[in-house]
Structure 1
């Protein structure tokens, strides 16, 4: 008896894939042989550069734009990936925005912007993923460890990311029988522009010291967790994986 192995690559769509954690995830999944849909919200040049990097190394990737909170744009994004590569196996929701301020002082327009991208965007993309991801696939959302550490000024951001975790836990159970896992990665302090913006050196140093490993995380640290959930972790489902260097 002979066994044949498919040479067709698995396919992943990564929202926010042109920078920060999303870019690291794209690069890590490319190393695992995935064909990639690299999503961007506004900076096509950055997404094109990531695609060029992957294809130059012998991989497969396309850039796709659109507002994650717009269901029509995301339907078109999923269509584009399926047309290019024949289907979708993994969806990573890495797109997100963060505005920090005390609850008493936060501009409500900023609250609405975070909720649109972080909650509605995750919901819209998850909805498409639930309809389209192939059996054996995975849906991976990105939250934050501040849902546990409860730092001041993070109230609105944590509210949006706690919703992401809630969506994850429900969707994992709604997809019973589909052979699709749904999990959330909750990073600690990661050295990305999103995290570093507006923080002085003393604040950044305090964040680094807060973990037992006494450093900030790197986007690649989070990408390793995503690759685990996207690949071998078939018995991990409906969970929040705190990727934070031991932060409480």
Structure 2
């Protein structure tokens, strides 16, 4: 039934031509979905001048450059975010009865992560009005830390490490969370505002991460905070970052 519905639009045919691109033929794509495999018929258009061809329906269904449906990609990315890719393969097989490889989970997770990062940067640059609100009397806490995570050998080429042979075995993942506090308990200790915490994290330079967590603080409307408190350990990069991005 799903295949019939997906193919009920004549392959996304848009006429004999779309701009300079002419209709050439119908092409079929085998698509894996949460309900199983389906074959999707798509009208193919080709621009002779630019030598570029495309199927408009791929954009409509969000399947450009992939053989996985959007729903299945979300499942793969969610599992990939919480579990090692190999175990994620087993989870999806056991829970949903779907067979995808650990490499496919890795590839989809990385791609969707990149897309989310690009969306986040665009949103933070535009500073939308629908930011997470909090009272202007709140104290904003910005917590920053870093931890080594094991990576494949190709990711550590040219990097010095703490191992006996001088080679690095890990890369530092930089993490941050931002939350607010407006009240105190009966003993006078501050209480974190419920559902006020947002997180950022990446494997990148301290300068890049500084820009990342600063963007998040602006999304959280740091200008309205009565007080800003940065929390971190003794790592110099954290306090250099704090002095640069959250001085005063």
Length-normalised TM-score, structure 2: 0.23
Which of these two proteins has the greater Rg computed from alpha carbons? Answer: 2
Length-normalised TM-score, structure 1: 0.23
The structure whose RCO (Cα within 8 Å, separation 6+) is larger is 1
In terms of fraction of residues, the more strand-rich structure is: 2
In terms of fraction of residues, the more helix-rich structure is: 1
